[in-house]
Amino acid sequence: MSAVIWNLLSFIVALGVLITVHEFGHFWVARKNGVLVKRFSIGFGKALVSWRDKQGTEFVIAAIPLGGYVRMLDERVDPVLPQFKDLAFNHKTVWQRMAIIAAGPVANFIFAVFALWLMYLLGVQTMRPVIADVTPGSIAAVAGMPAQQQIISVNQHQATDASSVNLLLVEQIGSSSITLGLQDMQTQRQTTIVLNTADWQFDPEAQTVFDSLGLNLARPKALTEVAHIAAGSAAEQAGLLVHDKILRIDGTAISSWTQLQDVISNAAEQPLLFDIERDGRQVTLSATPKLIVNDDGFSQGVLGVTPKVSDWPPGVLYTQKYGAVDAVAAGISHTWQFTRLSFSMIAKLVMGDVSVKHLSGPIAIAQGAGTTASMGLVAFLSFLALISVNLGVINLLPLPVLDGGHLMYMLVELIRGKPVSEKTQEVGFRFGALVLLMLMGIALLNDISRL
């Protein structure tokens, strides 16, 4: 199955689950408050499958799986017979209507807790945020960050794994400083260090948040030993073999794979002398890296070899797995972290700390769905939880076309004692739709530019 088809199917499954959860929240609370639900639709357009329950609600799975809706009896939309007025949405109290509207986003948050609960129940392999070393001249180096330290907190927020620390650091974008809680891997002694981030530059498309601060996590390293040679490559033509260890290039000692890559990249179509170790003896070969042009239009040399990778450092990789009760607490904590980060990113977007070029749309979500689905159920559950939280947060924004906009109007009604005029609501809906379409357009363009 091609990657595109797999991503599309994974996207449809993910979106279908999350939309169903969201709309079911509206549906369930509407019914509990005595509102007649006329239609519960997953998707838009032509109905592919439909059926009715005993209470007259039509359930529909439609052709365009990009959303859904719950259509309730409402005098503002349909003529309602006098005997059925008590079943109409607009005849319910403000508090009842607010509960019905808020139920969609709340259902998304509850689902995120459930997905993460199941993930922790099954067990998720993760890594401790251990700093192996720091990049010279980086923010971490200037602060005097010592090596072999595990990050245990970010600005007083506790964290046990690299993923949580990553989210907490991203949340600090725009801050002038970051306080890290550290624990020495050898002595277990705990200290704190303050990073000066006034001039912090972070491009999420080009680097990780750890790299941007100069924090190099303990993880398997690429060695200078050859693990694979591409057919027809410059390495094959030169006679390099698997298990060869590259010692020197043109007399310069090679101590890391990164150094080797830099030399090769800058020597396209230039013959190089390789001193290698093979079966306990030293051999010298000549290889000429081939010239290629990457996606950005830059020319570079390629040798056609893949490095052997070292084992994980001891104590870094571990499995987070909890019992049924503890998994609930972990799910709630992780969901709250996702929620806090989502609201924080929206605020930073408005304040200009985060550029709109980093917005992602349906293509990026489809790619994420496909990638995590390929990694297994546990990774896919984590992805569903993150997107579910984002869906809940976005729907709570005070844009009139979203649930948050409806709640805003109802809050005004609660304060004033009378509904917001239809004309004001209509103007608000048009403005909200324009803003939403603009943001969706920017996100889609960003997605296309990354292809």
Element counts in the chain: helices (H) and strands (E): 12, 18
Q: Which of 346, 407, 439, 377 is nearest to 104 (CA)?
A: 407
- What letter does residue 148 receive in the DSSP assignment? S
Q: Give Cα 21 to chain centroid, integer Å.
A: 20
- What letter does residue 145 receive in the DSSP assignment? P
Q: Which of 272, 265, 266, 276 is nearest to 226 (CA)?
A: 276
What percent of the chain is helix, strand and coil (3-state, nearest 5)?
45, 25, 30
Q: Rounded to an integer, what distance in angstroms lies between the CA atom of residue 105 and that of residue 27?
A: 12
Q: Rounded to an integer, what distance in angstroms lies between the CA atom of residue 135 and that of residue 216?
A: 7
Q: Rounded to an integer, what distance in angstroms lies between the CA atom of residue 303 and that of residue 244?
A: 14
User: Position of tokens 């608000």?
Assistant: 428
State yes or no: is 23 an active-site residue.
Answer: yes
382 touches 124 (CB < 8 A): yes
For residue 21, CA distances in Å to 17, 244, 272, 384 come to: 6, 54, 60, 11
Q: Which of 25, 89, 79, 35 is nearest to 419 (CA)?
A: 89
Beta bridge partners of 80: none
Q: How many residues does the chain have?
A: 451
Q: Rounded to an integer, what distance in angstroms lies between the CA atom of residue 106 and that of residue 17?
A: 15
CB burial of 367-398 (b: ≥16 within 10 Å; e: otherwise) equals bbbbbbbeeeebbbbbbbbbbbbbbbbbbbbe
Q: What does 245-308 look like in DSSP terms, one character per residue? A: EEEEETTEE--SHHHHHHHHHT-TT--EEEEEEETTEEEEEEE-PEEEE-TTS-EEEE--EEEE
Which of 23, 205, 413, 426 is labelled catalytic?
Answer: 23
Q: Rounded to an integer, what distance in angstroms lies between the CA atom of residue 165 and that of residue 340?
A: 14
Cα dihedral 266/214/168/181 (nearest 10)? 160
Q: Which residues are catalytic?
A: 23
